[in-house]
Amino acid sequence: MPIFWSKFKKPILALAPMAGYTDSAFRILCLENGADVVYTEMISAEGLARQNKKTLKMLEFLPGEKNVIVQLFGTNPEAFGKATEIIGKRSHRSAVSGPRDDINPIVGIDVNFGCPAKKVFHTGAGAALMNNKKMAREIVEAVLKNTKLPVSIKIRSQVKNTTAEEFIEYLKDLPIAMVMVHGRTLAQGFSGEINYEAIKNIKKLLPKVIVLGNGGINSVEDARIMLEKTGCDGVGIARGALGQPWIFGDIKKYYNHPGPILHRTTPPLKGGDATVAILPFRRGGAPTAVGAEGLKIWPEIKSTMLAHAKLFLKQNENLIPLRKHLVHYVKGLPNASELRQKLIQVETLAELEKILKK
């Protein structure tokens, strides 16, 4: 097992890749809230191989980033090889000057075999590659040949007629360091029941490889169920981290100090006991009886939103692209609808501060 993955205390907590969401600002916020590992958005191997300026910009990092895994997608093994070389040669380039700018936060390269997006799937990339095992293997081999970094893959429980187990059987002799398994099929996309058995089977097939369970993790309870039913080494959290980056800290605190399961979607109150439920609902379920409790933790939500916005502005001219993040923070609050209408129009930090003062 590569030294990088073996250094973490289990369960390992990873911010899974999300196109348009897992940028530098959100990665730092999740790291500060307890994530062990964070992923870039999906990056085109072809774009990197051609040294496209927009694609290369996705390899710029802010001071404070660490344990970043670059996720590549595409269909051309040669392009993956060239992209991997570029990642290896690329020194740390930060968007703003700061201490330790010379440190490269990239610690691994991941190949996407799980994206269900039609625009990706129809090119033969992402989840489509689970049905093209020969090409998938050639891609992984090209990455392994051109890097000394740990190489990992992200897959789904099933894509058309190919199961996760069949796919891994075809690749398991390769020195893959980690496999993240989304417990839903291609047909399910991002909703429906999680196939815990498939994830459990992958761990049995790869006993010496780190396996992370992914899909439907929106709370500490969801993470506990995933870990107990699959025996995996940790979890990859994607949509469940939107609007609640503190989910990583909640899970970590639960496993460090087991107690009642948290059912909240907000940051812990200052000085509060991490094992005490603050809100009687969780993401993914209908909010109930929030009322005064929601208002009580509003200052903590606001401080997180402002911190996120300030980080985001270090790489961006305005907050327009951040709107999709901001609306997630107010889900379940009594005045969520009113706040959303204001947040989808915000452009500057001053405007955001004005909205949050009310």
Please spell the DSSP secondary structure of 114-179, one letter per residue.
Answer: ----HHHHTTT-GGGGGG-HHHHHHHHHHHHHT-SS-EEEEEEEEETTEEHHHHHHHHTTS---EE
For the annotated catalytic residues, the residue numbers are: 115
pLDDT for 149 beyond 50 = yes
pLDDT for 25 beyond 80 = yes
Question: What percent of the chain shows pLDDT beyond 90?
Answer: 75
Residue 297 main-chain phi, psi, to 5 deg = -95, 0
pLDDT for 335 beyond 90 = no
pLDDT for 341 beyond 80 = yes
pLDDT number for residue 92: 43
- 291: confidence class by pLDDT, cuts 50, 70, 90: very low
pLDDT for 278 beyond 80 = no
pLDDT for 267 beyond 80 = no
CATH H-level superfamily of 7-255? Aldolase class I (3.20.20.70)
pLDDT for 56 beyond 90 = yes
Domain spans in the chain, listed from the N-terminal domain onward = 7-255, 291-357
pLDDT number for residue 47: 97
pLDDT for 269 beyond 60 = no
Nearest CA-CA partner of 59 in 29, 94, 85:
94
- Average the pLDDT over 253-281 and give the result: 50
Residue 230 main-chain phi, psi, to 5 deg = -115, -25
pLDDT number for residue 259: 61
pLDDT for 326 beyond 90 = yes
Q: How far is CA 47 from CA 55, 79, 164, in A?
A: 6, 9, 28
Burial class (CB in 10 A: 0-12, 13-18, 19+), 118: exposed
- Average the pLDDT over 112-134 and give the result: 93
| pLDDT mean across residues, the chain | 87
Nearest CA-CA partner of 156 in 124, 132, 123, 189:
189
How far, in Å, CA of 15 to CA of 30, rounded?
A: 7
pLDDT for 248 beyond 90 = yes
How far, in Å, CA of 193 to CA of 215, rounded?
A: 9
- Average the pLDDT over 85-111 and give the result: 70
- 89: confidence class by pLDDT, cuts 50, 70, 90: confident
- 270: confidence class by pLDDT, cuts 50, 70, 90: very low
Other C-beta atoms closer than 10 Å to the C-beta of 337 total: 9
- Average the pLDDT over 49-69 and give the result: 94
pLDDT for 125 beyond 90 = yes
How far, in Å, CA of 200 to CA of 27, rounded?
A: 28
pLDDT number for residue 260: 57
Most confident of 132-136, 261-265, 354-358: 132-136
Q: How confident is the model over 213-237, as pLDDT tens digits? A: 999 999 999 999 999 999 999 999 9
Per the model's pLDDT, the better-predicted residue between 62 and 257 turns out to be: 62
Question: What percent of the chain shows pLDDT beyond 70?
Answer: 84
Within 8 A by CB and 6+ apart from 299, the residues are none
- Average the pLDDT over 7-21 and give the result: 96
Q: How far is CA 136 from CA 153, 155, 202, 264, in A?
A: 10, 11, 17, 40
Instruction: Give start and end residues of each alpha helix (H) in the chain.
Output: 3-6, 24-32, 45-49, 53-56, 77-89, 118-121, 133-145, 164-171, 196-205, 220-230, 247-256, 291-296, 298-312, 323-329, 336-343, 349-357
Residue 262 main-chain phi, psi, to 5 deg = -75, 140
pLDDT for 287 beyond 70 = no
Please spell the DSSP secondary structure of 266-300, one letter per residue.
Answer: SPPPTT--TTS--SS--TTS---S-HHHHHHTHHH
Nearest CA-CA partner of 115 in 202, 39, 208, 219:
39
8 A C-beta contact, residue 74 and residue 46: yes
- Average the pLDDT over 322-326 and give the result: 97
- 104: confidence class by pLDDT, cuts 50, 70, 90: confident
Least confident of 1-15, 18-32, 120-134, 278-292: 278-292
Q: How confident is the model over 159-177, as pLDDT tens digits? A: 999 999 999 999 999 999 9
How far, in Å, CA of 295 to CA of 299, rounded?
A: 8
- 3: confidence class by pLDDT, cuts 50, 70, 90: confident
